[in-house]
């Protein structure tokens, strides 16, 4: 990698700004912060990705997981978000997907998902990995095929996922010992959702500038093995986002300051080699 400090400074400044609405969330580890950052970048770039994994936020009622999911949905688009609640059977899940796609909803937020098996079911895998999606309307009976640009977000609590499910969803866990970044009458705290709504375009531009800085700093295309291993089934998403995340993690490690998120490989142990051997983290 060519040593070019200007892109690095730009990337760190943009990362600090991008992370500012989310800095109050009490994530459990550096890996969980990395998952959250991946979700943020995916929300911005979803229209240019043929497929992407789902994202789940695991915490108790005080964690702010609902607010985080809502922030990402707003960052994804100002259009209507499709909301689901609780457990759904496979048939009901497919109906909900069809409804969301019929209304061109850019995001689905699934609150209080309790059944871990849902992530491993064939319909979930097909939906997340398919750039196109077909659904049937009852009256008149017709089959419609539409482009699948949905970002799937979920709130969960202590959800244990199978290996197949972990290949489809990335989970950011919260530290249950700390409370959510909610406004308080005693100690005013900025409302993350309000900040995202007010600064949505600037935050999206920050993501674009981070990717531009990465391209300027590296002067090379992605090659397998350059960074953390790909997530199976999401090769384009992996190729575009994981090298940038690995680069940001290295920059933060070298030039850490208050306001920057400490990051670690979110795909360990199932889908990535240990980057500690290379001195990244």
Write the pLDDT tens digit of every residue in 38-84: 999 999 999 999 999 999 999 988 889 999 999 999 999 988 788 88
pLDDT of res. 268:
58
Those residues whose C-beta lies under 8 Å from the C-beta of residue 67, and which sit 6 or more positions away, are: 180, 181, 182, 192, 193
pLDDT in tens, 208-241: 999 999 998 875 544 434 455 566 678 899 989 9
Question: Is the torsion defined by CA of 84, 87, 93, 95 positive or negative?
Answer: negative
pLDDT band, residue 189 (cuts 50/70/90): low
Q: Do 38 and 170 contact (CB within 8 A), yes or no? A: yes
Instruction: Tell me the fold of 5-177+192-266.
Output: Rossmann fold (3.40.50)
pLDDT of res. 278:
35
pLDDT of res. 244:
94
> Is 16 in a helix, a strand, or coil?
helix
pLDDT of res. 174:
94
Domain edges within the chain: 5-177+192-266
Q: Is 192 a residue whose pLDDT tops 90?
A: yes
pLDDT of res. 183:
47
Q: Do 174 and 65 contact (CB within 8 A), yes or no? A: yes
Q: Is 186 a residue whose pLDDT tops 50?
A: no
Those residues whose C-beta lies under 8 Å from the C-beta of residue 186, and which sit 6 or more positions away, are: none
d(CA 247, CA 91): 41
d(CA 159, CA 111): 13
pLDDT band, residue 85 (cuts 50/70/90): confident
Phi, psi of 147 (to 5 degrees): -75, 135
Tell me how far the alpha carbon of residue 262 is from its chain's centroid: 16
pLDDT in tens, 97-146: 878 877 888 999 989 887 666 777 777 888 888 888 887 776 667 887 88
pLDDT of res. 46:
95
> Is 259 in a helix, a strand, or coil?
coil
- Pick the closest to residue 204 from 47, 23, 34, 32 (CA basis): 47
* Residues paired with 170 in a beta bridge: 55
Q: What is the pTM of this model?
A: 0.86
Looking at residue 75, what DSSP letter applies?
Answer: H
The helix (run of H) or strand (run of E) holding residue 166 is helix 163-166
pLDDT in tens, 195-210: 999 999 999 999 999 9
| Sequential DSSP letters for 83-149 | EEES---HHHHHHHHHHHHHTT-SEEEEET---THHHHSHHHHHHHH-SEEEEEETTTTEEEEEE--
Q: Is 275 a residue whose pLDDT tops 50?
A: no
Q: Is 281 a residue whose pLDDT tops 60?
A: no
d(CA 7, CA 25): 28
* Beta-sheet pairing, 151-156 with 107-111: parallel
């Amino acid at each position: 990698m060519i040593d070019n400090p200007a892109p690095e400074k730009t990337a760190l400044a943009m990362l600090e700004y991008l992370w500012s609405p989310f800095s109050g969330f009490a994530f459990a580890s550096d890996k969980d912060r990395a998952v959250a950052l991946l979700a943020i970048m995916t929300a911005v770039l979803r229209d240019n990705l043929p497929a992407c994994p789902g994202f789940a936020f695991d915490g108790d009622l005080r964690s702010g997981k609902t607010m985080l999911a809502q922030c990402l949905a707003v960052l994804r688009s100002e259009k209507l978000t499709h909301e689901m609640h609780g457990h759904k059977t496979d048939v009901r899940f497919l109906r909900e997907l069809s409804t969301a796609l019929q209304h061109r909803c850019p995001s689905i937020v699934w609150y209080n998902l309790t059944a871990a098996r849902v992530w491993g079911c064939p319909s979930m895998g097909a939906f997340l990995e398919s750039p196109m999606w077909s659904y049937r309307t009852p009256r008149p009976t017709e089959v419609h095929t539409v482009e699948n640009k949905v970002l799937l977000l979920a709130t969960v609590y202590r959800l244990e996922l199978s290996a197949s499910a972990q290949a489809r969803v990335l989970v950011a866990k919260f530290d249950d010992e700390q409370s959510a970044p909610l406004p308080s009458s005693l100690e005013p705290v900025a409302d993350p959702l309000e900040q995202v709504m007010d600064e949505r375009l600037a935050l999206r531009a920050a993501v674009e500038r981070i990717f531009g800085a990465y391209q300027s700093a590296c002067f090379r295309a992605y090659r397998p093995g350059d960074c953390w291993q790909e997530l199976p089934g999401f090769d384009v998403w992996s190729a575009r986002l994981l090298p940038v995340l690995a680069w940001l993690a290295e920059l933060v490690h070298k030039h850490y300051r208050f306001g920057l998120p400490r990051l670690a490989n979110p795909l360990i142990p199932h889908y990535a080699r240990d980057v500690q051997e290379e001195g990244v983290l």
